[in-house]
Amino acid sequence: MTSRDAILRRIRTELADRAPADPPPVPEVWPRTDPGAEQLVERFTEELKAVHGEVIRCGSIEQARGKLAELVEQSQWGRIGSVDRPVCRELLCDLDPQQVAWAKQHWEPQAMAELPAGLVAAERLLADTGSCLIACGTPEERLMCYLPPASLVVARVDQLAEHMPAAWEAIGRQTADPQRRGEFVLVTGPSRTADIEKILILGVHGPRRVVVILVG
């Protein structure tokens, strides 16, 4: 036995004899106040508008379909991209199939960037920052958040959370799944940058427009 082996053996023996220490308590950085649904909607809308985002509130998925069709027509979007999620298919079912380009494997980023708008589904909305938490299982789903000039996000009112700690219990269960692939993306309004003269410019590093379609 070498001196290195002897040292490692003593360390392992010492560690084996010790009782496991209790983890330190998790500090409460953002206390939960559990506001009502309408308060969450109001806070989320205010925060998103403050960073030049938009919210379209709809009472039902049927109303949301009509609002989306109006938005597509008013914005003169001949064709929009979308991730393949049940809620996205519900929302887009009134459009002509030729108007929708569904995300697919090995989609060329240049082709995605040429779409005028892309639709994604949020896992959670964070009211305190007006942020959309989006699960992206593939590179194409992630790029759908960034490449089209307009990013459309669909979510339900019951997906609103006060802040990240309030959403973490549900999100944590998903991230703990060993079979899960991909990542979560946080979207908080359009891409923004400013030059030395403090002139704000939208859309330099991402979408120029972010529209959240909030159902419920």
pLDDT tens digits, one per residue of 186-196 = 999 887 676 66
Tens of pLDDT along 54-99?
999 999 999 999 999 999 999 999 999 999 999 999 999 989 999 9
Give the domains, in start order, of the chain with CATH numbers.
Answer: 32-215 (3.40.50.10420)
Nearest residue to 122 via CA among 147, 95, 100, 152: 152
Average pLDDT, the chain: 88
Q: What is the pLDDT of residue 212?
A: 97
Q: For the chain, what percent of residues have pLDDT higher than 90?
A: 62
- Please say if the pLDDT value at position 168 is more than 90: no
Residues 6+ apart with CB under 8 A from 214: 41, 44, 55, 56, 57, 58, 125, 155, 156, 157
- Structure confidence at residue 80 (pLDDT): 95
Residue in 121, 55, 64 with CA at minimum distance from that of residue 87: 121
Question: pLDDT value at position 149?
Answer: 94
Beta strands in 51-136 (DSSP E): 54-58, 80-82, 100-102, 117-121, 124-126, 131-136
Residue 140 structure tokens: 């194409």
In this predicted structure, the answer to whether residue 133 has a pLDDT above a threshold of 90 is yes
Q: How confident is the model at residue 7 (pLDDT cuts 50, 70, 90)?
A: confident
Threshold 0.85, pTM exceeds: no
Question: Which phi and psi (to 5°) does residue 160 adopt?
Answer: -75, 135
Please check whether residue 133 is in contact with residue 145, taking contact to mean a CB–CB distance below 8 angstroms.
Answer: no
pLDDT in tens, 170-184: 888 887 787 878 888
pLDDT at 26: 62
Task: For Cα atoms 210, 56, 82, give the angle at the middle one, nearest 5 degrees.
Answer: 55
- pLDDT above 80 for 127: yes
Instruction: Give pLDDT, residue 195.
Output: 65
